[in-house]
């Protein structure tokens, strides 16, 4: 699984072509890990972009990219898992297999169309064990090279592990310096489950609350970015100095240093990478996509890591985001479903 990925989750739908162009741009820039889900409605565009990339020679074949998709809550019923993946593959992605198929949420809704948000009364008890066994079947049929989960707590993982013959390969969760998930990561490390991070930059405003982004507005991360920028500029200055005097490259312009300044995004993404966690970030902006890839070849210091470990923790995404505010809860055990 490539260590960094491009996401395609959007709070507001965009035209198919916009997603397709963005995915193509990401592939061109070097992204080899593409993340989608039935509920994002971006599977079709992503599949077309990959096919186009192969036609244009940006990829030798589809095998060169790692594609993740996810089973939506309304399809979280044992008999609907395989048909849902077949729909994703045949009609949307137009691929023979996905590299990774995830249960999107530990939340089950009445069978029905793949829509979001749901009414609260649509939530029903989840046959998690039965759904996992159906996921295993998808793997056995070769339709999903790996299977896993998303937004799962240790409690949900325990339930799966108690019946699994194939344990989940991945748990994709909200993870960033402001929600570090230390306990969950320790648990997953112990069970051999790889952790992937969504919202590595603090996430998008799904509820339209206008709440600020705790990662991009973090003072601690801003300080580290600033200090790191200076350090790197200094290192670079001495490198240029040596070049000038040792090889006569006097014309190397000193303003190149400015390009080496770091920003908060890179500090956050680098920190996640150093934790051994795969990140997936959505941007359809080419400059941002490029910037997000620029996290290799340098490291945070122990002091940076210590400062990040002290950041007050705040979860941003909850399962409440799945439901519209109208409607009443009925016979649902909300704590079990991770809704409260």
Active-site positions? 40
Q: Is 306 annotated as a binding residue?
A: no
Q: How far is the CB of 291 from ligand A2P (least distance, A)?
A: 4
**Is position 7 an interface residue for ligand A2P (rule: CB under 6 A)?**
yes
The CB-of-41 to ligand A2P minimum distance in angstroms stands at 15
Structure tokens at 144: 């999903």
At residue 134, φ and ψ (nearest 5 deg) are: -70, -35
Closer to ligand A2P by Cβ: residue 69 or 292: 292
160/281 with CB nearer ligand A2P: 281
Contact status: 109 vs ligand A2P (CB under 6 A)? no
- Least separation in angstroms between CB 54 and ligand A2P: 25
Near ligand A2P by CB under 6 A: residue from 84, 275, 278, 283? 283
How far is C-alpha 179 from the geometric centre of its chain's CA atoms? 14
Which residue stretch of 22-30, 57-65, 110-118, 285-293 sits at the interface with ligand A2P (rule: CB under 6 A)? 285-293
Q: How far is the CB of 287 from ligand A2P (least distance, A)?
A: 8
Asked if 82 and 76 touch (Cβ cutoff 8 Å), the reply is no
What are the strands, taking DSSP E only, across 51-151? 66-71, 98-103, 108-109, 123-124, 144-150
**The one among 71, 282, 295, 316 contacting ligand A2P by CB under 6 A:** 282
Which residues, numbered 257-276, are part of the site for ligand A2P (CB under 6 A)?
Answer: 265
286 forms part of the interface with ligand A2P (CB under 6 A): no
From 76, 281, 295, 322, residue interacting with ligand A2P (rule: CB under 6 A):
281
Which of these, 200, 168, 167, 162, lies nearest to 181 by C-alpha position?
Answer: 200
CB atoms within 10 A of CB 109: 25
Beta-bridged to residue 170, according to DSSP, are 194
Q: Which stretch binds ligand A2P (CB under 6 A): 102-110, 133-141, 247-255, 277-285?
A: 277-285
CB 105 within 8 A of CB 150: yes
CA distances from 207 to 41, 210, 323, 338 (A): 18, 8, 10, 18
Q: What's the Cα-to-Cα distance from 275 to each of 2, 73, 139, rounded to whole Å?
A: 15, 30, 28
Can you tell me which of 292, 304, 316, 338 binds ligand A2P, judged by CB under 6 A?
Answer: 292
Q: Is 42 in the site for ligand A2P (CB under 6 A)?
A: no
Residue 250: CB minimum distance to ligand A2P, A? 34
Q: Encode 39-62: b = buried (16+ Cβ within 10 Å), e = exposed.
A: bbbbbbbbbbbbbbbbeeeebeeb
Residues of this chain that interact with ligand A2P (CB under 6 A) are 7, 9, 199, 201, 203-204, 265, 281-285, 288, 291-292
């Amino acid at each position: 699984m490539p260590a960094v990925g491009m996401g395609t989750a959007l709070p507001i739908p965009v035209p198919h072509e916009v997603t397709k162009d963005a995915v193509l741009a990401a592939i061109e820039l070097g992204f080899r890990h593409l993340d989608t889900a039935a509920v994002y409605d971006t599977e079709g565009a992503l599949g077309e972009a990959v096919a186009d990339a192969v036609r244009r020679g940006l990829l030798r074949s589809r095998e060169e990219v790692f594609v993740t998709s996810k089973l939506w809550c309304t399809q979280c019923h044992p008999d609907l898992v395989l048909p849902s993946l077949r729909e994703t593959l045949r009609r949307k992605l137009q691929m023979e297999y996905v590299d990774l198929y995830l249960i999107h949420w530990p939340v089950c809704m009445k069978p029905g169309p793949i829509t979001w948000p749901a009414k609260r009364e649509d939530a029903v008890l989840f046959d998690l064990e039965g759904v996992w066994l159906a996921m295993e079947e998808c793997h056995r049929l070769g339709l999903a090279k790996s299977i896993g989960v998303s937004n799962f707590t240790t409690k949900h993982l325990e339930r799966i592990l108690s019946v699994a013959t194939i344990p989940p390969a991945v748990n994709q969760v909200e993870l960033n310096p402001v929600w570090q998930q230390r306990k969950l990561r320790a648990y997953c490390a112990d069970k051999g489950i790889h952790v992937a991070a969504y919202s590595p930059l603090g996430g998008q405003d799904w509820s339209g609350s206008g709440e600020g982004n705790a990662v991009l507005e973090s003072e601690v991360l801003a300080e580290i970015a600033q200090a790191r920028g200076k350090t790197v500029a200094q290192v670079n200055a001495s490198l240029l100095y040596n070049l000038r005097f040792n090889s006569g490259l006097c014309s190397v312009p000193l303003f190149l240093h400015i390009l080496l300044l770091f920003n908060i995004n890179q500090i956050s993404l680098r920190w996640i990478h150093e934790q051994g966690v795969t990140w997936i970030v959505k941007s359809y902006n080419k400059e941002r996509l490029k910037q997000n890839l620029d996290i290799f070849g340098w490291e945070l210091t122990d002091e940076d890591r210590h400062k990040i470990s002290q950041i007050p923790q705040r979860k941003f995404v909850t399962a409440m985001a799945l439901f519209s505010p109208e409607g009443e809860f009925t016979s649902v055990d909300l704590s079990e479903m991770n809704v409260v």
